[in-house]
Amino acid sequence: MIKVVFFATPKIALKSLDYLIKSDKIEVLAVVTQPDKPTGRGHKLCAPPVKEYAIQHNIPVFQPDSIKKELEIQEELKKLEPDFFVTFAFGQILSKEVLEIPKFATINLHASLLPLYRGANPIQRAIINGDKKTGICTMITEEGLDCGAICLIDEIEITENMNYEELFEHISEKSPELIEVTLLSIKSGELQPMEQCCDNVSYANKIKKEDAQIDWSKSAREIHNLVRGLYKSPSAHCIFREKFVKILETRVLENEHKEEFQGSTGEILKISKEGIEVATTKGILLVVKVKPEGKGEMFARDWVNGLSGSIPGGAKVLIGDKFL
């Protein structure tokens, strides 16, 4: 039986934790996660998903503000005598002292094909950059940012209209078995991790508020990728008639490379049951779903009908209006 301490915080790690807890080859000794944080308008303290799941299964939970500085927690972890630490979107950097606690190694699950997209937001960045594939890696955690030797890799295709939530789910589904096989293979000596190649290193910088603002002077393809990559987290957005509008779903029309269409960037060219056609510097973007300020998610055509219902002439009066 392999003894493990599981370091994780968000929902994406839940299926891996569940898998390891139910495995007859793994014993999860404890969970280490981030502290409870205030959320919502009432700023009510909310526990991380991983903590809630661990408590339901009677797994001890540690919540350090900084695992590097909290020596008491480090001592408690040493007493558990784990074979491995497993980290998956934990959210804190582990110090040399912490990494030396497990008998074999600390294994990190990273949601990219390393050395691509080291850092905090690899799933979003892969979609935003228009990549056709990504994947998951297990790696030996070292001091530094996602630079350790690679254990196992599993590639995942990114399809034309796949959004962040869908790719997130693919990664969540594929991760558990990869973690278990890595642990078993390292302990048995069957797996020899390979050092990362120094070529093609890139970083998935943290998503900033300004990153979500749509720039209509970019191509339809670039805006479509932004919408997919930031789907509901935090959502690409723009301004229309001085109101904040989140753009949740789009399509690049087949005539994206044609230059004959009329219209300046951000201008509404056509309205149909499929959505709103908007001009960009290169190509036309079909806006399918939106979340207007103060309202819920809806189809763009329904939003348009609601805006123009009291205006003579119907929805066509919107043609020529611009998203900013």
pLDDT (tens digit per residue) in 231-250: 988 999 999 988 899 999 99
Q: Which of 31-45, 199-213, 297-311 has the lowest mean pLDDT?
A: 297-311
Q: Which of 26-35, 46-55, 271-280, 308-317 has the lowest mean pLDDT?
A: 308-317
pLDDT (tens digit per residue) in 23-52: 999 999 999 999 988 876 767 888 899 999
Give the mean pLDDT of 101-124.
94
Dihedral sign from CA coordinates of 219, 220, 223, 225: negative
pLDDT (tens digit per residue) in 254-267: 664 455 555 688 99
DSSP for 26-48, written as a single string? EEEEEEE-PPPEEETTTTEEE--
Structural element, H or E, at residue 49: helix 49-56
Identify the burial level of 64 via C-beta atoms within 10 angstroms of its C-beta, where 0-12 means exposed, 13-18 middle and 19 or more buried. middle
Neighbours of 314 (CB within 10 A): 12
Give the mean pLDDT of 203-219.
92
195/266 Cα distance (integer angstroms): 46
For 113-144, the three-class secondary structure string (H helix, E strand, C coil) is CCCCCEECCHHHHHHHCCCCEEEEEEEECCCC
> In the structure encoding, which two tokens stand for residue 124, read together?
């979003």
232/296 Cα distance (integer angstroms): 12
Identify the burial level of 129 via C-beta atoms within 10 angstroms of its C-beta, where 0-12 means exposed, 13-18 middle and 19 or more buried. middle
pLDDT of 313 strictly over 80:
no
pLDDT of 322 strictly over 90:
no
Residue 324: what pLDDT?
Answer: 86
